[in-house]
Amino acid sequence: MASLLTENIKISLSSIRSQLLRTVLTVLIIAIGITALVGILTAIDSIKQSINNNFTSMGANTFTIRNREMSIRIGKNGKRPKRFRNITYDEAIAFKNQFQFPSFTSVSTMASGASTVRYLSKKTNPNIQVFGGDENYVVTSGYDLQSGRAFSMQEIQYNSHVAIIGDELKNTLFGSSINPFNKIISIGSGKYKVIGVLKPKGSSIGFGGDKISIVPLGNVRQYFGKDQMNYVINVQSRSPKQMDIATGEATGVFRKIRKVTIGEETNFEIIKSDSLANILIDNIKYVTWAATIIGFITLIGAAIGLMNIMLVSVTERTREIGIRKSLGATREIIKKQFLIEAIVICQMGGFLGIVFGIGIGNLISLLIGSGFIIPWIWIITGIIICLVVGLAAGIYPAIKASKLDPIEALRFE
């Protein structure tokens, strides 16, 4: 059986060499289909990995309490996120005082999403986000300090004019030659002493992670205050295993603070650190379907082209088939010969497409800063698809070849 298979493969390769141009064109069509399938799906996997890395940077043990659902709308058919009444300062502080679960809790608010920050003669574009936070904000929001320190309890208590700035803001105002520690910067009309610089975090889906300035929460209320300010509560439990218990207890405490009665719908949202990543990944499935359909359409075209080549091959090799039958080759042997030839051509195209697909997918992965991916699932899927395409394209020509009358075939000119 093994020797027969080897012989059929050798005959297939010999036939491929004799019809090189047509075979190469068919292999390229198959390769393009597999490249589209493997390449796009590899790129999607790398995008998913990048999304997970970016949006879970706060840690698997962090959650946020806010007044609206997390939602992303794709096109016109997306679901509008629910929006509840604002979380007030008193409610946020009450939660921080009453939540006794072993964790770090912080209260924050956005003062401005488009501020200009100045240092001497240098200034930024009006695109700096200014947040008000407390002594735990840096920890619970997923930032790490590159240099300096976080706010002290005394600075929070006395609404001090101090600031922690993002890495990009530091580079814009101070460059690499000036140490920003204890330097005075202007945020809006106020002056603040820089006490810390955050490590680079990067930007994700419109959130400028490094174009940021954090000042004490009370200072924001005093100098950036406006009617109906909305506050956000971040909670970091001591262990990811305690997340479900922590979120359950937080829900109960905050329902009581917000005066939500039994049976009434909760009028706030608890969002875990990976919630946005899950929403984005869920929406990416439509791109995956589109890529799969495009790849399959290309492969259908390749299958039609391969079937045409195999039918032409049967006609051109009619005399050869007659000789083989006269020497004792059965219908089954002839059928297998042509089927294996179609499968070999498909697998050649599949191998080429997988190599190109992995290369293109990982080039995109490199551009978005994700890691190198070997998409074993899509590689195996590509091999199986090529096998199916080869069988589908080769079965009819193989049956036609096996049914040829040996005497008529020997007469064929």
Per-residue pLDDT at 411: 65
Per-residue pLDDT at 256: 94
For residues 300 and 152, membership in a common domain is answered with no
Q: Please, which residues bridge with residue 204 across strands? A: 207
For residues 29 and 142, membership in a common domain is answered with no
Per-residue pLDDT at 206: 42
How many structural domains is the chain composed of?
A: 2
- Domain end residue (candidates: 229, 253, 272): 272
Per-residue pLDDT at 192: 96
For residues 119 and 250, membership in a common domain is answered with yes
- Domain end residue (candidates: 272, 300, 319): 272
For residues 128 and 254, membership in a common domain is answered with yes
For residues 205 and 239, membership in a common domain is answered with yes
For residues 265 and 394, membership in a common domain is answered with no
Q: Which domain holds residue 338?
A: 2-53+279-411
Per-residue pLDDT at 195: 96
For residues 246 and 393, membership in a common domain is answered with no
Per-residue pLDDT at 205: 44
- Domain end residue (candidates: 272, 289, 315): 272
**190-198/162-165 β-pairing:** parallel
Q: Say what the pTM is.
A: 0.61
For residues 143 and 248, membership in a common domain is answered with yes
For residues 10 and 112, membership in a common domain is answered with no
Per-residue pLDDT at 237: 86
For residues 196 and 287, membership in a common domain is answered with no
Tens of pLDDT along the chain (413 residues) come to: 556 667 667 766 777 776 777 778 778 888 887 887 788 778 777 777 776 666 555 556 788 999 886 655 555 555 566 788 899 999 999 999 999 998 899 999 999 888 999 998 899 999 899 999 999 999 888 888 999 999 999 999 999 999 999 999 999 999 888 999 999 999 988 999 999 999 887 654 444 568 899 999 999 998 887 778 899 999 988 877 888 899 999 999 999 999 998 888 898 998 876 666 666 667 677 777 877 787 778 778 777 877 877 787 777 777 877 887 777 778 888 888 878 888 888 888 888 888 888 888 888 777 766 677 777 887 888 888 888 888 888 888 888 888 877 777 676 65
Q: How many residues does the chain have?
A: 413
For residues 297 and 365, membership in a common domain is answered with yes
For residues 88 and 203, membership in a common domain is answered with yes
